[in-house]
Structure 1
Amino acid sequence: MATKTHTVTGRLRGNRLRIVWYALLVALLAIGAYGGYLRVTEGLRSTNLTSAVPWGAWVAFYIYFVGLSAGAFLVSTLSNVFEVEGMHEIEREALFVAIVSMIVALTFVLVDLGRMDRLWHPFAWRQPLSVLSWEVHAYALYVVVLSGELYFSMRRDLVARSEAEDGLRGRLAGLLTLGRTDTSDEALETDRTWLKRLGIVGIPLAIVFVHGGTGNLFAVAAARSYWFSALFPVIFITSAVVSGMALIALLYVLRSWLGSRTLDRALLERMAALFVGFVVLDASLKVLEAFVGLYSLHPGDVETWLTIATGEMWWSFWLVMVGLGWIAPLVLLHRREWRRRPTFVAAAGTSVVIGVIGTRFNIVVPAQIEPALYGLPTGYYVPSTPEWLLSLGIVALGVLLFTIGTELLPLVPRGETHD
């Protein structure tokens, strides 16, 4: 009797928490909707974007979420392509995070467009010599590849759920099987084969076109010497893996705390070790980039780095990017026993997820503040209130999509859920 009472109490507490969580997300969406209303009715006048600084917070968040997507996808390949032991547990979650992050990223692109109604133009009038045109098509193909991978990864459990449940989750699972209900060994082997094939296709797609390609959008801007570097796309990729690994590790711990899955400390330690390695690599490449830029004594590079390190947004570099993005996770995870502690891994993951936001802003804004030509005015940019409100709403949309996905989709492989 005591056990039943405890179970009922736990479920009631969980239901109340779920209601509060959804209410919070709806409130944030409403706030974002107001920012969206201002964006639609007032156009770019609602922002602090200018001809000197045409890219601001929305572009920074766009490349941030593209990075999260590419990083989460590359984490998933550790399971379905490279077959790293234990990583299968987080494969589906990583793929779903990659899809949701890409949706959020493209939403930020949409609101940043001066003419949002022309979103479809790149598909109607292709420009083979345009990096941006290639990116648009790569994003579309990338989402298709991710969706295919998630389908083949979940199909067995979708079939099982459709047969075991009669409610919304069961009916949705039945639809998502796409009529393929065979769970024989041969059918499952076919799923694994296609999952690996799509993962192999997705690796160069994510590295060269999706996030490396996003870096190319900046790297080909010859008028901005800070961006104009072959190292830029590489740094985009490493920081993407760092942020993706951080987010997946954080979600893994959070969902174990909420009772959605069991926690494997060996897997946690493995993720944390990879996490630390990529943080060191990312920081090293950034130091190399700074050294080359400053040593060259090129005015554009030197002035931009001075703006980053000593300008009005110095705190974004030293406190957010360096402090939260690099130092904090390395301190929290430098001891092996700490890498097995969920609290330490969650804290490090949170620190990096926030810290990489600073990295993205430091990429986008400072290079535009310094004039491209002598005699032009110095730029200035701080996001306006509508920019922040709409950004908050778009992020809330992504969190809501992920939350609904965890409720309706079998993102945890069978045998690991404990209700």
Structure 2
Amino acid sequence: MEASGHTGAGGAFLRGRIVSDGTVVENGVVAYDGDRLVFAGPYPEFSPQGRPEHDVPAGSILVPGLVDMHCHGGFGADFSSADEDAARRAAAFLHRSGTTTLLASTVPAPPAQALAALQVLAGLCADGLLAGIHAEGPFVSTECSGALEPAHLNDPDLELLARLIDAGQGQLRTMTYAPELAGAGELADRLTAHGVIPSIGHTACDSATAATALAQASEGLASAGFDGYSARPTVTHLFNGMPPLHHRSPGPAAACLRAAAAGAAAVELIADGTHLDPQTILTVFELVGAANILLVSDAIAATGLEDGEYGLGGRLVTVAGGRATLAGTDTLAGGTSTLLDVVRTAVGSGVPLPDALASATSVPAAVLGLADEVGSLHAGFRADVLVLTPELRLNAVLRKGRWLA
């Protein structure tokens, strides 16, 4: 089943400036039939073969639909606590906002609630609205819990992990964990054996522990049959939820940067201008390269709505000036930007547009094992296309060959 609000499917072509896979085609064409792309390249090489032209404004930029690996909800719905209807509305809103492929992120909760949330989200995955689930915990550090409820955090518990994996019905794609906790190594091995990507985060570990954990996760993914970009772990929102990098105590961030620079890990960046300074965003891109960065939104229920009070896994969040914090504190509690907003902020920080887009499209698609399906504009790929203005504002969204209302 698809979200409502789509307008007609069929075949057509669009003309504009194509930005995909780190390259630019100034006078480009993207054509689709049904839910598949049939051409993406220079206009002089294109033959319409009877397809009509879908008019877009002059100066339009054509880019792949965005891929978000860390997103807690939107449009009033929190994926950790929403019922099926609310979760569907959030997914539809995110699709309309340009994120045509996403993981639904959950936060730690009492086991019964956590299991119920995974079951709801697994149903949306089966319907094609979500590409999988990201569990942010519960096996993370209380010392670096951030907006996560400390009462719901645990040392690794393989029995609970098995129940979470079962509830996810094969849709759990990645899990954030703290490698310094007792039993974390066995947890990581169990994750990779089940095809779940380990993501270190919300951790107070030292640099050596982080390096060892990333290496172990890489080996586990390779042994489990992952290949290419998929055979590497990720880092949950680098710099957030971990000690700051200090010259005498480098902490996990140093090891994560080294692993990313070597192509052995991919680091998430919430490049929304709130979680990271623009110079930090630019520095990480220049140090490790776009191919090793995952731009993420960390969007919460408030995304797409005005300032006010919202929920995040049962915790009250206050949004003021677009900045989300735990009520009564200054602790950041997710983001309120869409992934397209994040791309625009990264570009405003000095990151070249092709690089910022790659980190929000082809790189996460490859990490998720979807490198031949989404994240790029190529014949045979899913017909997911964004039409942007020269200022990177959203003009139109094509998802699976249907224009979203």
> If the length of structure 2 is used for normalisation, what is the TM-score?
0.26
Q: Structure 1 or 2: larger helix share?
A: 1
* Higher relative contact order, structure no. (Cα contacts within 8 Å, ≥ 6 residues apart): 1
Q: TM-score, normalised by structure 1?
A: 0.25
- Relative to its length, the structure with more strand (as a share) is 2
